[in-house]
Amino acid sequence: MGRSNFRIERDSMGPVEVPASAYWGPCTQRAVQNFPISGYRLPRRFLWALGLIKEGAATVNKGLRRLPADLAAAIEQASREVAAGKFDRHFVVDVFQTGSGTSTNMNANEVIARRAEELLPNSRRVRVHPNDHVNLGQSSNDVIPSALHIAAAKEVWGALVPALEEMEAALSAKGRELDGIVKVGRTHLQDATPVRLGQEFGGWARQVELACERVKFAAKGLAELAIGGTAVGTGINTHPEFGARVSSWLSQQTGLDLREAVDHFEAQGARDAAVALGGALKGLGVTLAKIARDLALLSSGPRCGLGEIVLPALQPGSSIMPGKVNPVMTEALTQVAAFLVGVDATVGFAGQCGFLELNTAVPVIAYQLLEGIRIASAAARAFTRSCIVGIRADGARCRELVEKSLGLATALVPAIGYDRAGEVAKRAHRFGRSVAEEARALGILPSRELSRILDPETMTRPRDFGAQSKPQGVRKRKAT
């Protein structure tokens, strides 16, 4: 690249060559040179939040008479364009950079300043300074944590929660659809007493519902913003009302419940709210893995496995075995679960990287948390639409296995005692007969009484301890 393709800019450290077409300036260019590490960039949602913060800061500084109206208007417009993604290709700093995110904050300041200069009319054209004007009343130390909170909260409430609610609704609906099918229950992967297929789906639906509640609870901790604390939390070089005003403006613009931090030293020295959300994502990952593995196991076969349910056939499963179809959606979801566990590990470790008044691992927290939320949202939607809604039951297979189950002997215990019921089960297994056949052969109870006691469907409903009006595992949808 020839010299004409560069321009010389200067900062406090001296001159630096910047690509001629770049909207960024010397601070960003030094970061590009210093951190050629991963090629990862902070996600789109983070840049959206960063642009909003810069617009809100300009608006508030204008209202506080700290920034001329025409200069503020140009910065506001440039910031809106950043938020909308117009300059994403000019955000070139690697995720693995200075732990405060100063390089990314300056990337935004420089891009917005250069664009704002273009927007000013010729008669009023002045230099828009990245620090003195765009960054007025701010520090990287309060801007970057605030952008993290806003971006993560928007993704949780706007994408992840709706995706999980859709999954929970689909599992509940499938449970109601299949509730009449009785099947073998299993503990330790061994035969146990019967359950209804609807009860299993209801349990999975409740898992998702509770995982979603934990995510929502953790996300509430993102409501407090560090903005207004500036360098160390004291608010040096900013107006006393700046933090509250910017937080209020951001809340109105985003529709999120946002407010100035109660304590700016906590808000900048720690990233505990992000760590809590990372933990909730790990919990969600564990939930998704349980459901995925259960469905894969129940659908195993089609001839030599459990085969109680049939998952949608989506693609050929083998490059060598013709006709083979694999449970690809359950495997994809399990891998997403592994990723979410890793998100928590990264965010948890990075959350410990606080030294006195500042956490110094905010960029990697932002990257991992936002990627985790994005991937979990997409995976939940894909799994719901491509797998859950298309699941069918093999009723004949379920009946066959229930009739063979030795777990039916459990229902005999109140009538003949544990030891005698155990002997029935052992003999049935030894002679290859069903529990009912063996019990009749032994003549332990009248045939009609045996038929009543050993009815598998009856075993799936509460009896001796008071019948409930609503069957376990099948729940009505909440009103929305």
CA distance 126 to 176: 67
CA distance 312 to 109: 50
pLDDT for the residue 122: 80
Show the 3-state SS of the chain: CCHHHEEEEEECCEEEEEECCCCCCHHHHHHHHHCCCCCCCCCHHHHHHHHHHHHHHHHHHHHCCCCCHHHHHHHHHHHHHHHHCCCHHHCCCCCCCCCCCHHHHHHHHHHHHHHHHHHCCHHHCCCCCHHHHHCCCCCHHHHHHHHHHHHHHHHHHHHHHHHHHHHHHHHHHHHHHCCCCEECCEECCEECCCEEHHHHHHHHHHHHHHHHHHHHHHHHHHHEECCCCCCCCCCCCCCCCHHHHHHHHHHHHHCCCCEECCCHHHHHHCCHHHHHHHHHHHHHHHHHHHHHHHHHHHCCCCCCCCCCEECCCCCCCCCCCCCCCCCHHHHHHHHHHHHHHHHHHHHHHHHCCEECCEECCHHHHHHHHHHHHHHHHHHHHHHHHHCHHHCEECHHHHHHHHHHCHHHHHHHHHHHCHHHHHHHHHHHHHHCCCHHHHHHHHCCCCHHHHHHHCCHHHHCCCCCCCCCCCCCCCCCCCCC
Residues in a beta bridge with 309: 393
pLDDT for the residue 74: 97
Give the rounded distance of the alpha carbon of 281 from its chain centre: 5
Backbone angles phi and psi of 103, in degrees to 5: -65, -40
Backbone angles phi and psi of 324, in degrees to 5: -80, 135
CA distance 285 to 165: 15
pLDDT for the residue 402: 97
Question: Side chain identity at 271, as an amino acid letter?
Answer: R
Q: Which of 268, 226, 265, 269 is nearest to 246 (CA)?
A: 226
Between the alpha carbon of residue 285 and those of residues 136, 156, 172, 337, 350, the distances in Å are 41, 15, 19, 4, 20
pLDDT for the residue 140: 98
pLDDT for the residue 2: 54
Tens of pLDDT along the chain (480 residues) come to 556 799 999 988 999 999 999 999 999 999 999 999 999 999 999 999 999 999 999 999 999 999 999 999 999 999 999 999 999 999 999 999 999 999 999 999 999 999 999 999 886 778 999 999 999 999 999 999 999 999 999 999 999 999 999 999 999 999 999 999 999 999 999 999 999 999 999 999 999 999 999 999 999 999 999 999 999 999 999 999 999 999 999 999 999 999 999 999 999 999 999 999 999 999 999 999 999 999 999 999 999 999 999 999 999 999 999 999 999 999 999 999 999 999 999 999 999 998 999 999 999 999 999 999 999 999 999 999 999 999 999 999 999 999 999 999 999 999 999 999 999 999 999 999 999 999 999 999 999 999 999 999 999 996 544 444 344 555 555 544
- Cis (ω within 30 of 0) for the bond into 302? yes
Give the rounded distance of the alpha carbon of 23 from its chain centre: 33
Q: Which of 362, 367, 368 is nearest to 343 (CA)?
A: 368
pLDDT for the residue 468: 41
CA distance 384 to 393: 17
Tokens of 80: 């809106």
Sign of dihedral through CA atoms 286, 291, 294, 299? negative
CA distance 143 to 10: 24
Tokens of 307: 């085969």
pLDDT for the residue 126: 84
- The catalytic residues are 188, 318
pLDDT for the residue 400: 96
CA distance 407 to 190: 9
